[in-house]
Amino acid sequence: MILHELIDYSTLKLIWWLLLGILLIGFAVTDGFDMGVGTLLPFVGETDTERRVAINSIGATWEGNQVWFILGGGAIFAAWPPLYAISFSGFYLAMFIVLAAMILRPVSFKYRSKRPDPSWRNGWDWALFVGSFVPALVFGVAVGNVLEGVPFTLDRDLRMTYEGSFFGLFTPFSLLCGLLSVSMLVMHGGAWLGLKTDGIVAVRGRRYGTVAAFAALVLFALGGYLVYSGYVEGYRITSEIDPNMPANPLFKKAVIEGSAWMANYSTYPWMMIAPALGFLGTFGALIGLQTRLEMLTFACSKLAVFGIISTVGVSMFPFLLPSSVQPDASLTVWDASSSHQTLFNMLVATVIFLPLVLAYTAWVYKVLWGKVDEATIERDNDTAY
């Protein structure tokens, strides 16, 4: 079949780079406020009922949100197989910790209220906190490592050897990224609690959200400065690149170079939109959290998540996963994708199903619309989480 040749291989690679961004942002925007709420749980809820208010603000929808995570994994596997193969086996123990933490989440939601016993419920509350805080932190740390480069090599058979260690993942810069990720998602969760709950939980949500938004603003600026100053070195392709080349990372040459992650902003100045939105959104959320403009605040928070994650993407373009020990083996948009035909087939599936998913998700949110407070929890005592 030659149907897939309707769209250029290089164009498909670019589209899938955008879709990768959309999936990661979709995950951070939807499951992000679930993780933010879970991280805030011990702080916003002192009594059992208060905690249930927070939990039930996301109770009916967290499950759909989490699919963004699973879809992210599946889509990376399908569209960027080397990225899937190298990142998850390279970050092996970190990935295990994320999975173990995330496994606790579905169970905590469902089982927590199945017994009235306070120690049972307390235990699940902590599981929910761990299941939210730990992934938020590790995802940030992972992004920090990607920006700094990951110590992997590829041989001629494209078999990967990882030369780093688990503790090597925690550098000052990657920890900064981890904290940025946590504060960004806590801000997002705080904005959600302000929007979706009423009473003391909403008040506390806004209060902690404010602190987190302020931290995110500072950390984003600091991270940006470290990249700008060349403290975090970037990567640059030095050989001639044919965007239609077959997907073999060893067909190019690349080097490590200070401040190379800033190069795109002078080549394509419009890319400055990404960090600008990151700052504006965070600042907007910070101000909004002091008001009762709940929808607007949550929208700003979404914008902040969008801006901050896009900043990473556009700074690194076309790199996806640079190798710090064998820069030539770095994965880029041009040499780490699936075949022409697979990218096309997957695009067709996405064009059909993603709009459907967005449509019914929006409908479900509409059906479940309305604030959760202590009165609704007491009314639905038997059915609520």
Partner 1 sequence: MELDIVSLSRLQFAMTALYHFLFVPLTIGLSILLATMETVYVMTGREVWKRMVKFWGTLFGINFVLGVATGLTMEFQFGMNWSYYSQYVGDVFGAPLAIEGLMAFFLEATFVGLFFFGWDKLSKRQHLAATWAVAMGTNLSALWILIANGWMQHPVGSEFNPQTMRMEVTSFYEVLFNPVAQAKFVHTVSAGYVTASLFIVGISAWYLLKGRHIEIARRSIAVAAAFGFASALSVVVLGDESGYEANLNQKMKLATIEAMWETEPAPASFNLIAIPDMEARDNSFAIEVPYVMGLIATRSLTKEIPGIKELVERSKDRIRQGVIAWEALQKIRAADDAGQTVDEAVRNDFVINQHNLGYAYLLMPFAKDLTKATNEEIDAAAWSAVPNIWPMFYGFRIMVACGFFFILLTGVFFFLASTGKVEGLRFKGRWLLHVAVLSIPLPWIACEMGWFVAEYGRQPWIIEGMLPTHAAVSSLSVTEVLLTLAGFVALYSTLLVIEVSLMLKYIRKGPDDGGEPEAMPARTGGMSSIAAE
Smallest gap from Cβ 345 to partner 1, in A, equals 5
Binding track, positions 116-155, relative to partner 1; x by CB under 8 A: ----------------------------------------
The binder of partner 1 chosen from 87, 145, 310, 332 (CB under 8 A): 87
Looking only at the bridges linking them, the beta strands covering 319-321 and 254-257 are unpaired
Half-sphere exposure in the Cβ direction for 143 (13 Å, CA): 23
Q: Are 141 and 94 in contact (CB under 8 A)?
A: yes
Binding letters toward partner 1, positions 192-211, x by CB under 8 A: --------------------
221-280 residues in contact with partner 1 (CB under 8 A) are: 246-248
- Which amino acid, 8? D
Q: In terms of CB distance, is 300 or 336 closer to partner 1?
A: 336
**346 contacts partner 1 (rule: CB under 8 A):** yes
* Smallest separation (angstroms) from partner 1 to the CB of 176: 25
Q: Count of CB atoms within 10 A of residue 240's CB?
A: 8
* Nearest residue (CB) to partner 1, 94 versus 187: 94
Residue with tokens 């995570």: 69
Of 42, 64, 151, 243, the residue at the interface with partner 1 (CB under 8 A) is 64
Q: Which amino acid is at 55?
A: I
The SS3 of residue 254 is strand
Short-list 259, 257, 256, 172, CA closest to 224: 259
Q: State which residue, 78 or 227, has the beta carbon closest to partner 1.
A: 78
Shortest separation between residue 334's beta carbon and partner 1, angstroms: 13
Cβ(249)–Cβ(336) under 8 Å?
yes
Q: Are 312 and 264 in contact (CB under 8 A)?
A: no
Neighbours of 225 (CB within 10 A): 11
C-alpha dist (Å) from residue 195 to 146, 216, 299, 370: 34, 20, 11, 9
Among 14, 211, 273, 354, binds partner 1 (CB under 8 A): 354
Taking CB under 8 A as the binding criterion, the range among 35-43, 215-223, 307-315, 336-344 that sits at the site for partner 1 is: 336-344
Residue 181 CA to residue 282 CA, distance in Å, equals 12
Backbone angles phi, psi at 197, to 5 degrees: -120, 170
- Contact positions toward partner 1, by CB under 8 A? 1, 59-61, 63-64, 66-67, 69-71, 73-79, 81-82, 84-89, 92-93, 95-96, 99-100, 102-107, 109-111, 114-115, 156-162, 246-248, 338-339, 341-342, 345-346, 349-350, 353-354, 357, 360-361, 364, 367-368, 383
